[in-house]
Structure 1
Amino acid sequence: MPQEPDKKGKSRYFKAPVFAVAPMMDWTDRHCRYFHRQLTRHALLYTEMVVADAVIHGKRERLLGFHTAEHPAALQLGGSGPRKLAEAARIGACFGYDEINLNVGCPSDRVQSGTFGACLMKTPGLVAECVAAMKMAVEIPVTVKCRIGVDDQDPEEALDRLARAVFEAGADALWVHARKAWLQGLSPKENRDIPPLDYGRVYRLKQKYPNRFIGLNGGIQSIDEGLEHRRHVDGVMLGRAAYHMPGILAGVDTAFYGEPSVALDLSRVIDTMADYAGCHIADGGRLGHVTRHMVGLFHGMPGARRWRQVLSTNAAKPGAGPEVLHAAFAALDFDTAEVAA
């Protein structure tokens, strides 16, 4: 959950509501998060899942480094070993993340071979051990993201068992993707669409735990849908909709956090991202690392297709620089550079 330091340097938690952008493999990297932060000041932004072993033994700056502007930012970890997860959580906290989240929902072949992610739905006792170890290692919030069940599990029983275990272990929040995961028979992509959504199951979990933070993820397409779910749970998390149509994030601060409605100055966003891209290129990166996350910014607006064409075609060229962003913006067909948030 989002938090800020008190005068003694310890963390104090904000209360609901919370709006979050979901952790998404190959998408929510540091460049994506920096971009999303230009659209919303308050949304909680998640990293991609990072395996605990990689955090401990890998190139930490590459895996965990992030811009201070990204706060509040949460690190999602994958793994099933309590000691390794505790060490990875400690490292993440030292890097300055605001929350450590344990992945108990990813159904990919990679996590199945490592017996973590959604596989952990079958072993709530082990998840509790992991959470307890992580809580001992850090002072920032430790949270869990799960499914409502896997394979032939009864979601009523499976989700209750997991929730009870992680809350007794000290978890500060539970985010629930309101679908089952099928570890056998469905691909990771199919697992995002085919298992039916069951929002009512998550609502019932919140009713059972009125004093615990329960957040909802899965299939939410708009701010209005998120607000409707917010009537039943403490937080909502958008994934693919926020990535493919990032402009909707401009409405988050008003809708969820009560800030006055203002116009988003898109020319400022472009200038900021061009400066950021220039720094990334100067450090040895490529323009496309940044701009690939921005392709959907003008979704549904006049000129969006031209924006996508200029950005996608020119950002990949050798030596492409920040001027490509300005050229793509100039190619838009509308006269104003503002969007009402």
Structure 2
Amino acid sequence: MITTAIPAQQLRLSVAPMMDWTDSHCRVFHRLLSPNARLYSEMVHANAVIHGDRARLLAMDPIEHPVALQLGGSEPELLAQAARIGAEAGFDEINLNCGCPSDRVQAGRFGACLMREPALVAQSVAAMIAACDVPVTVKCRLGVDDDHEYARFRAFVDAIADAGCRMFVVHARNAWLKGLSPKENREVPPLRYDWAYRLKAERPDLQIVVNGGIAGAEEATSHLAHADGAMLGRAAYHDPYLLHRLDVAWFGGELRSRAELLRALRPYVESQLERGVFLKHITRHLLGLFGGERGGRAFRQILSEGAHRPGADWSLVERAIDVTESFSTPHAASAA
């Protein structure tokens, strides 16, 4: 069985799954910035999906589509059950994590260490495809530790492709499972985008999205000449306006101001406040919107200091916008 293909346009721009960051509040904000980006949940372990608080773990607003659920795990039956639950919850794609290098992941025999077990990943992917009717995809590294043979990386992909997977997100660096923290694993191992490019050239029927170290619009655009898409991680989170600029450049539309985009979030924020959500859980994702702009520091400060206080509501966000906009408004000259 072969999983359903994802429309090519939906792969051009995507936002990486990021633990503690890409929750539903973050994804709603990113969707307002980029109507065309493909969004991903934080990684959720299959066991948590099956036995945990699904209302929280699988929280999703209809505006988020297309949105993928990323699963962690290494037991085919459990992954299949979790994939079915995720698809029934409305996710448009189920993505298997084969790239996370944290100690917790290694102890649980999933994430990046699965790159040493292609047969198990293939078995898991086949079970997931059989269990749900949405595309099943894989996010992986180039290898782990001292794996420096392209042929080994391609063999891993081929094994998973033979199980029916058609789309791979390639974080184009190795995962070092010993001696580096997860943060260092995102920065220290050298990037080798050429491996992802070569994979696409040699396996043109597969959909290949490049991830890892993409820091700006020009760099993101350059990957489109060699792969099906570019997936941004921390750059999109810390400079979310980058998503809007890329969406306009790649898909068309009118460039909107940061303030206009943020004010479009007001109905969502107020609906969440009515449900008892604290403002701070939403505004933590907004802090980078005015990064690099005059007044950006004041914007962050107002939200950081005020959002946790009891009764904090949209008026705080409006005050932060007003203060920020005041920096770009010429002060009236003294008449005297």
TM range (shorter): over 0.9
Instruction: Please say if residues 5 and 166 of structure 2, whose CA atoms lie closer than 8 Å, have aligned partners that are also in contact.
Output: no
Change (3 A) 1:174 1:311: same
| Residue from 150, 155, 160 that aligns with 1:156 | 150
Matched, 1:293 2:289: no
**Paired position in structure 2 for 1:328:** 320
Structure with greater strand share of residues? 1
**Paired position in structure 2 for 1:247:** 241
Instruction: Please say if residues 148 and 155 of structure 1, whose CA atoms lie closer than 8 Å, have aligned partners that are also in contact.
Output: no
Structure 2: how far apart are the matches of 1:96 and 1:189? Answer: 31
Matched, 1:277 2:269: yes
Superposed CA RMSD in Å reads: 1.6
Matched, 1:81 2:75: yes
Structure 1: how far apart are the matches of 2:6 and 2:48? Answer: 29
TM-score by length of 2: 0.93
Instruction: Please say if residues 69 and 91 of structure 2, whose CA atoms lie closer than 8 Å, have aligned partners that are also in contact.
Output: yes
**Paired position in structure 1 for 2:228:** 234
**Paired position in structure 1 for 2:28:** 34
Unaligned runs of 5+ in 1: 1-9, 337-341
Structure 2: how far apart are the matches of 1:21 and 1:318? Answer: 32
Letter in 1 for 2:319: A
Q: Could you list the per-position Cα deviations for residues 130-185 of structure 1 after superposition, in whole angstroms to 9, with x for gaps in the alignment?
A: 11001001111110000000012234133112110111111120010011001111
Q: Could you list the per-position Cα deviations for residues 179-225 of structure 1 after superposition, in whole angstroms to 9, with x for gaps in the alignment?
A: 10011111111101111111111111111111210110000011211
| Residue from 277, 302, 308 that aligns with 1:310 | 302
Structure 1: how far apart are the matches of 2:83 and 2:296? Answer: 40
Unaligned runs of 5+ in 2: 331-336
**Paired position in structure 2 for 1:98:** 92
Structure 2: how far apart are the matches of 1:315 and 1:252? Answer: 29
Matched, 1:196 2:196: no
Aligned to 1:13, the other structure's residue is in SS state coil
| Residue from 36, 42, 45 that aligns with 2:39 | 45
Structure 2: how far apart are the matches of 1:296 and 1:108? Answer: 26
Letter in 2 for 1:13: I
Q: What is the count of residue pairs matched by the alignment?
A: 325
Letter in 2 for 1:310: I
Matches of residues 255-270 of structure 1 in structure 2 within 5 Å?
Answer: 255-257=249-251, 259-260=252-253, 262-270=254-262
Matches of residues 121-200 of structure 1 in structure 2 within 5 Å?
Answer: 121-200=115-194
Instruction: Please say if residues 274 and 326 of structure 1, whose CA atoms lie closer than 8 Å, have aligned partners that are also in contact.
Output: no
Matched, 1:15 2:8: yes
Structure 1: how far apart are the matches of 2:42 and 2:239? Answer: 18
Aligned to 2:154, the other structure's residue is in SS state helix
Structure 2: how far apart are the matches of 1:267 and 1:79? Answer: 40
Change (3 A) 1:335 1:263: farther
Structure 2: how far apart are the matches of 1:179 and 1:27? Answer: 22
Instruction: Please say if residues 223 and 255 of structure 1, whose CA atoms lie closer than 8 Å, have aligned partners that are also in contact.
Output: no
Aligned to 2:165, the other structure's residue is in SS state coil
**Deviation of the 1:265 alpha carbon:** 4.3
Aligned to 1:161, the other structure's residue is in SS state helix
Change (3 A) 1:80 1:11: closer
Structure 2: how far apart are the matches of 1:255 and 1:136? Answer: 38
Letter in 2 for 1:185: G
Q: Which runs of 4+ in 1 moved over 2 A?
A: 10-13, 252-257, 265-275
Structure 2: how far apart are the matches of 1:35 and 1:159? Answer: 35
Instruction: Please say if residues 143 and 172 of structure 1, whose CA atoms lie closer than 8 Å, have aligned partners that are also in contact.
Output: yes
TM-score by length of 1: 0.92
Structure 2: how far apart are the matches of 1:158 and 1:272? Answer: 47
Q: Which moved more, 1:204-213 or 1:22-31?
A: 204-213
